[in-house]
Amino acid sequence: MATRGLPRTFELSVRVPGSSGDVAPAVIDRNNALKNSGSHHILLLVHGYNNSHDVAEASYGKFLENFQAQLGGSLDAPDAIAKFHWPGDESTFFGSTVGYAFDINHARDAAQRLATYLAGLPIPGTASLRITIVGHSMGCRLILEALGRMPNALGISLVGLMAAASPIEFVKRGGRLFRTGNLPRRMLKFFSEQDSVLQFGFPLGQWHAFQMQIEDDNYFEAVGRHGNPNEFGSPFPTENGHSKYWSDRSIAAIMVRQIDATIPAPIPVAAVPARELPPATEFAARSLPRRTLPR
C-alpha cells in the first residue's frame, strides 16, 4: 500500500501574550504557515477549559502518539496537524466553577475567530480541503459554536467530541447547533458516565454562568455525560475520567478507522485475571503423648 510521510505540525492560537484571558482579535498563524502550506487534510486539535499552553501541548502529544502509531502512512492520513490554543484557563485565577463561566465567553469568542480563519483557508490545487477535528471538554463547545458559524463548511467531514462540556439543549432537534451534526459530516460523541467533572462540576459551573447572565438558561446536562441527545451524532461510551480522554488508545483507534476504513481494528488484548494461591492450610500443633516404660 502506498504511504504518506509524516505530517507537518502547526500552531494556531488566539491567546494574547501576557494576558490572563483575553482572546486575540484573529487567529495567530505565524507567517501564515498553515494557510500557505498547501495541505489537503488538516487534523485540528482543540483543548478544553482550565488548560495552560503547556498542559494542552502535553495532551495533544498523548493523542498524537496513539493516533499516528495506528494510522501509519495511510494515504488518507492528515498531512498537517494544527494545534489550537485558546485562553481556557481563566478558572485558574478565579476557582474552577466561577472561572468556568468566564471561559464560556472566551470559548464563544475563540469560536468566532476560528470559524473566520477556517473559512479563509485556500483549497489546494484542484482537490478539496479536508478537515478532521478532535476536541475535549469545553473545547467541544468551542468547536460546535465555530461550526454553527460555518453552515457551508462541507470540508469539515469528521468531528470527534471527547467529554463534551456543551449543553444537550444546543444540539437537540431544533436547537441552534443541531445542524452542525448533519450528514455527510460524521459527529462522534465519546462520553463517560464515570466522569465526575461533568456530573458535578458542569451543572455548578453552568448555574454560575446563568446567575451571571452569561447563559440564557440553567443548563445542567453535558453532551459528554450520557451521550445525549440520541438524534445528534454517534455515541461511543467509555469509562474515562474527565482528564483521561486524550491518552485513550481506543478513541484514537476509532478516529483512525473513521479516516481510513481499510486499516484493521487493533486486536484487543484480553486481560488475564490475577490468580492467587489459596492460603496455606494451618495445622494445629500436636504433641505426642509421652509414654513411660516400666522399669
DSSP labels, 140-174: HHHHHHHHHT-TT-TTEEEEEEES--SBHHHHSTT
Q: Would you say residue 3 lies in a domain?
A: no
pLDDT at 202: 95
**pLDDT the model gives residue 89:** 78
Q: What is the mean pLDDT of the chain?
A: 88
CB burial string 161-194: b at 16+ within 10 A, e below: bbbbbbbbbbbbeebebbebbeeebebbbbbbee
Distance of CA 295 to the CA centre of its chain: 93
The contacts found for 54-63 with CB under 8 angstroms, 24 or more apart, are 56/83, 56/85, 57/83, 59/136, 59/246, 59/247, 60/246, 62/246, 62/247, 63/134, 63/246, 63/247, 63/251, 63/252
- Widest CA span in the chain: 119
Residues 59/162, Cβ–Cβ less than 8 Å = no
Q: Does residue 282 carry a pLDDT above 70? A: no
Mean pLDDT, range 245-256, rounded to an integer: 98
Averaged pLDDT for residues 119-133: 88
How many domains is the chain partitioned into structurally?
1
d(CA 141, CA 257) in angstroms, rounded, equals 24
Q: What is the pLDDT of residue 141?
A: 98
Share of the chain above pLDDT 90, in %: 74
Lay out the sheet containing 186-192: strands in order across.
23-28, 8-15, 80-85, 41-46, 130-136, 156-162, 186-192, 234-238
- The one-letter code for the residue type at 163 is A
Measured between alpha carbons, how far is residue 57 from residues 9, 35, 100, 225 in Å? 12, 21, 21, 25
Q: Is residue 125 part of a domain?
A: yes
Please give the single-letter amino acid code of residue 158.
L
Q: Is residue 136 part of a domain?
A: yes
pLDDT at 2 over 60: no
For residue 104, tell me if it sits in a domain: yes
Question: 234-238 and 130-136: which strand pairing?
Answer: unpaired
Give me the residues paired with residue 28 across strands.
Answer: 13
pTM of the model: 0.87
Determine, yes or no, domain membership for 278.
Answer: no
pLDDT of residue 273: 45
- Give me the residues paired with residue 43 across strands: 81, 132
State the CATH number of the domain containing residue 180. 3.40.50.1820
Task: Tell me whether residue 119 is in a domain.
Answer: yes
pLDDT of 295 > 90? The answer is no
Q: How far, in Å, CA of 157 to CA of 272, rounded?
A: 39
* From 41-55, 78-92, 186-200, the region with the lowest mean pLDDT: 78-92
Report the pLDDT averaged over residues 131-159: 96
Query: In the Cβ-directed half-sphere of 82, how many Cα atoms lie within 13 Å?
Result: 30
**In this predicted structure, what is the pLDDT of residue 284?**
46
**Is residue 293 predicted with pLDDT exceeding 90?**
no
> Range of 192's domain?
8-259
**Residue 270, in any domain of the structure:** no
Q: How far apart are CA 190 and CA 178, in angstroms?
A: 17
Where is pLDDT greater, at 127 or 295?
Answer: 127
C-alpha cell at 58: 502535553
Residue 266 lies inside a defined structural domain of this protein: no
Q: Which of 8-12, 15-19, 181-185, 279-283 has the lowest mean pLDDT?
A: 279-283
pLDDT single digits (tens) 36-60: 999 999 999 999 998 999 999 999 9
- Please report which helix (H) or strand (E) contains residue 270, including its range: none
**Is the model's pLDDT at 267 over the cut of 80?**
no
The rounded distance, in Å, linking the Cα atoms of 244 and 5 is: 29
pLDDT reading at 131 higher than 90: yes
Residue 109 has pLDDT above 80, yes or no: yes
Q: Which residues contact 31 (CB under 8 A, 6 or more apart)?
A: none
| Cell, residue 110 | 475563540
